[in-house]
Structure 1
Amino acid sequence: MQFLRRSLVGIFLLAITLALFAWAGNTVRLAVQERMNAEPRSFEQRERVLSVNVVEVQPQTIAPDLTLFGELESARTLDLRAVVGGTVLEVSENFRDGGRVEAGELLVRIDPRDAQAALNRTRANLQDSQAELRDAERALTLASDELAAAEDQADLRRRALARQVDLADRGVGTAAAVENAELAASSAEQAVLSRRQALAQAEARVDQARTRLARTEIDLDDAERTLADTEIHAAFAGSLAEVAASPGIRVTANERLGQLIDPDQLDVSFRLSTSQYARLLESDGTVIGAPVTVSLAVEGLNLTAQGSVSRESALVGEGQTGRVLFARLDNTAGMRPGDFVTVTVTEPALDGVALVPATAVAADETVLVLNEENRLREAPVTLMRRQGDDVIIRAPDLAGQRIVAERSPLLGAGIAVQPLNLDEQRSAAPAEPQVISLDPERRARLVAFVEGSQMPDEAKARVLSQLEQDEVPADVVTRLETRMGG
């Protein structure tokens, strides 16, 4: 009985368990069906609007700038060489590397004794040649007089012969008298010929004396020039470099003693590509006269000079490409030959172009344009030049329209945006002061720092002169205080 009772209880519990499982399964099935058959809930969708910086395309006339690198060189450079050899007796106090000399200043004097002795000998030879010429001229005068006398004597002999012949014809004279008269006339003619030969010799002697005098005068000029060449003078005002002479050394002819450079007349040479060269060509096919600006950064200062292209190299150069141009510069204070500088060449102006940020133009030369509903659309443009962080484009169809200044992968055609005017933001930004006033303590601290720095003397003098002014450039003060750590 007990076994049967336990078996029935177990069967009952099992039946209840199966019933509960069936009820739970049915409940889950009904819930799933209700969930699947129910309509989905809808939420209000809002379009995402991005804020972008925009600029307005404003067609204008722009002269693009080419930024290149070049090297300064002197327009006037002269090698100082010893024309004659000898011992250096004297040099100028300014005859040293970096020495400043004036035009005509005596730089080097070489021992002139040999040249002076040669000049004295030549002057003595000149006196001999002049005396020889005077003697030859006197001899020529005497020979002319002797010829005239001989011709007179010959005339007398001929008249005497004519009388003897006339007497003989009349039977008064004798044949012997006629023969004597003929012999005397013949002797007189022979004397005339001798005097003519003497006259010709005297004339030849005069010509030889004049030729000798001319040679002596040439030798005299050469000797005077050699004596003058013992002194080397500055051909123009400038600075000296590569000086290699001192008193007491012996120099040979054509030995280089130094180099005279005019630091105030500088040219800049720079190489540019063939395409850049083609953009600089004028209507006549030349680039002469293109404006050039040269800048040199020295110890926190930016030295600039203006100029224009004066000539171009005739050869490209072996293994080189492009073109080499030379520009003549004006007002090159602080610059020296050999400086490596930045060269900015102004190209011919372009009409109907616009200047926009470089980030506004994609690689396929398209921009994103805003329509009336502030939605974006792509538009093609023509990229003309790159100017630092900006580009020059030609897009006549976009005149007066707004484009995205900074493109990103999130932006594309059809997207709504919130425009922010980049030009207004730039104009609203406060401009940094160009010059500032310094209190005495701050000025004294900056002056002490500059005087104790390792700046070159020229740069140090330039900075100190700026610090002495009532108003000092703000960028100079900023750079100095940055180096001071203040």
Structure 2
Amino acid sequence: MRFLRRSLTGLVLLAVTLGLLGLAVLIVGGAIRQSLAPGGPAAPPVERVVPANVTLITAANLTPETTAFGKVEARRTLDLRSRQSGTVIWVAETFRNGLSVTEGDVLLRLDPAPATEALELATADLTEARAEAADAVAALELSEADLAAAEEQAVLRQQALVRQEDLAAMGSGSPLAVETAGLAASAARKAVLSRQQVLATARARVDQTRVAVTRAEIALGEAERTLSETELRAGLSGRVDGVTLVEGALVGANESLGRIVDPTALDVAVRLSTAQFGRLVLADGALAAGEVTVFAPGSGTPLSGRLDRIGAAVEDGQTGRLVYVALAEDPALATLVQPGDFVTVGIREAPVA
């Protein structure tokens, strides 16, 4: 029974397979006959339509614009340092971070007592040196007068010697008188030499006292400068930044006390690619005088500027070129941008036809 069941199943599967093969042959044959049959309507070709945006092209001169990003830098900055060491006894109300100062304003004062004492000592030394110089000049004048008297005395002694010699030659004088006159003339000449030495010493003393007066004047000027340096004044007008000291603080010589930034003179450091830089540089290596517009962050007011200079070197890890844009000096700059801001820079290139 099992054998018969398996035989019948195989016959059924064989019949189904043969039926499917016959159906496939009929379908393929009908398709071949239809394709080979002459005449009959042909299917019309269908054109593919693709939508596209179009615009009207008009010839015109265009001005390309390079857009880049830059960092605002201060063009004028003054580092405030103490010339002398000392204790801060007074600080101006405007000498605080963010406040504005004017050139020449006194910002702080150090204790002037040591400098005042040094100035008084220098003044006394100068007075003493000038007195010594006056005394040396007076001594020189006396030495010159003493030398003149000694020379006159020597002339008289020499004349007396000549007379005694003449008298001795005529037989009227004695050898003792001639010898006495000769000794007197010799002593007079020796006195002249002594007075000349004294005069030379007096002249040297005058020169030394003049040098001493000059040194005392220099010391006095240095003491006056030291006293004036106990006051710190603003070297330019601008805003104060980096101040940390208070009254009573002890500062050292050349210690940094802050800085003053001019908010109306600003530059923008812009890094460009080599291709962008090549479009902005002229044949002689100078930058083109293109119009530059700077947009501050959070402000819709554009700022005008100009290409000013090219960076001297490429920093480590950087590429391209660094150019500097000088913003037009305007008091309104302080309210729009500050040093350290990152801004968008638009640089107009030469027109292209």
Superposition TM-score, scaled by structure 1 size: 0.62
Aligned to 2:300: 302
CA distance in 1, matches of 2:30, 2:169: 193
Q: 1:109–1:173: structure 2 CA closer, same or farther, 3 Å change rule?
A: same
Q: Distance in 2 between matches of 1:105 and 1:309?
A: 34
| Separation (CA, whole Å) in 2 of partners of 1:159 and 1:181 | 9
CA distance in 1, matches of 2:125, 2:131: 10
C-alpha distance in 1 between matches for 2:175 and 2:349: 114
Unaligned runs of 5+ in 2: 1-28
- Measured against aligned partners, the alpha-carbon deviations of 1:406-464 in whole angstroms (never above 9, x if no partner) come to xxxxxxxxxxxxxxxxxxxxxxxxxxxxxxxxxxxxxxxxxxxxxxxxxxxxxxxxxxx
Q: CA deviation at 1:265?
A: 0.6
Corresponding position of 2:314: 316
Q: Work out the CA distance in 2 between the residues paired with 1:31 and 1:65.
A: 66
Q: Which deviates more from structure 2 when the two are superposed, residues 216-225 or residues 56-65?
A: 56-65
User: For residues 33 and 171 of structure 1, do their structure 2 counterparts lie closer, same or farther at Cα, with a shift above 3 Å needed?
Assistant: closer
Instruction: Note the 1:246-285 alignment, pairs <5 A.
Output: 246-285=246-285
Alpha-carbon RMSD? 2.4
1:133 alignment partner, SS class = helix
Q: Report the more deviating stretch, 40-49 or 139-148.
A: 40-49
User: How far is 1:175 from its partner?
Assistant: 1.6
Q: What does residue 223 of structure 2 align with?
A: 223
**What is the CA distance between 1:263 and its match in structure 2?**
0.8
User: What's the CA shift string for 1:265-288, capped at 9, x where partnerless?
Assistant: 111112222232222111322116
CA distance in 1, matches of 2:210, 2:288: 55
Match of residue 197 from structure 1: 197
Shift of 1:222: 0.8
Give yes or no for contact 2:280–2:288 (8 Å, CA) kept in 1: no
- Distance of 2:249 and 2:34 partners within structure 1: 118
Q: What is the SS of the residue equivalent to 1:96?
A: coil
What does residue 233 of structure 2 align with? 233
Shift of 1:49: 5.2
Partner of 1:10: none
Q: 2:92·2:106 contact (CA, 8 Å) conserved in 1? A: yes
Partner letter of residue 342 of structure 1?
T
Task: Please report how far the alpha carbon of residue 117 of structure 1 lies from its aligned counterpart in structure 2 after TM superposition.
Answer: 0.7
What's the CA shift for 1:31? 12
- Shift of the alpha carbon at 1:193? 1.1
Distance 1:230 1:45, change over 3 A: same
Shift in Å, 1:327: 2.0
8 A Cα contact 1:288 1:310, kept in partner? no
Contact 2:237 2:262 (C-alpha < 8 Å) held by counterparts: yes
Report the Cα distance in structure 1 between the residues aligned to 2:269 and 2:122, rounded to whole angstroms.
50
**Closer, same or farther in 2 for the Cα pair 1:36/1:122, shift >3 Å?**
same
Counterpart in 2 of 1:329? 327
Instruction: Find the counterpart in structure 2 of residue 286 from structure 1.
Output: 286
Question: Relative CO higher for 1 or 2, CA cutoff 8 Å, sep ≥ 6?
Answer: 2
Alignment partner of 1:104 is 2:94: no
For 2:18, the equivalent position in structure 1 comes to none
Q: Distance in 2 between matches of 1:243 and 1:166?
A: 97
Aligned position for 1:405: none
CA distance in 2, matches of 1:336, 1:216: 49
Aligned residues: 321
* One-letter amino acid of the counterpart of residue 121, structure 1: L
After superposition, the Cα gap between the structure-2 partners of 1:54 and 1:201, relative to the gap in structure 1 and judged at 3 Å, is same
Aligned counterpart, 2:130: 130
Q: Distance in 1 between matches of 2:344 and 2:31?
A: 80
Range with greater deviation from structure 2 (170-179 or 317-326): 317-326
> 1:287 and 1:188, CA in 2 relative to 1: closer, same or farther beyond 3 A?
same
Which residue type is aligned with residue 238 of structure 1?
Answer: G
Cα gap change, 1:202/1:63 in structure 2, threshold over 3 Å: closer, same or farther?
farther
2:340 counterpart residue number: 338
Q: Which residue identity is paired with 1:223?
A: A
Say if 2:66 and 2:348, in contact at 8 Å, map to a contact too.
Answer: yes
Alignment partner of 1:54: what SS?
Answer: coil
Q: Which runs of 5+ in 1 are unaligned?
A: 1-28, 353-486
Amino acid in structure 1 at the alignment position of 2:208: Q
SS at match of 1:327: strand
Matched, 1:147 2:181: no
What is the aligned partner in structure 1 of residue 349 from structure 2?
Answer: 347
Q: What is the match of residue 92 of structure 2?
A: 92
In structure 2, the partner of 1:73 is 73
**Equivalent position amino acid for 1:268 in 2:** V
- 3-state SS, counterpart of residue 96 of structure 2: coil
Seen in structure 2, the aligned counterparts of structure 1 residues 134 and 34 have a Cα distance that, compared at 3 Å, is closer
CA distance in 2, matches of 1:246, 1:211: 44
Flag the 1:149–1:305 CA change in 2: closer, same or farther, 3 A.
same
Indicate the structure with greater strand content.
1
Q: Distance in 1 between matches of 2:30 and 2:72?
A: 93
What is the TM-score when the length of structure 2 is the normalising length? Answer: 0.84
The question of whether the paired residues in 1 share the 8 Å contact of 2:307 and 2:324 is answered with yes
Contact 1:288 1:311 in 2 (8 A): no
Q: Give me the identity figure in percent.
A: 44
Paired with 1:32 and 1:114, the residues of 2 have a C-alpha distance of 123
Look up the SS of the partner of 1:302 in the other structure.
coil
1:162 to partner: Cα distance:
1.3
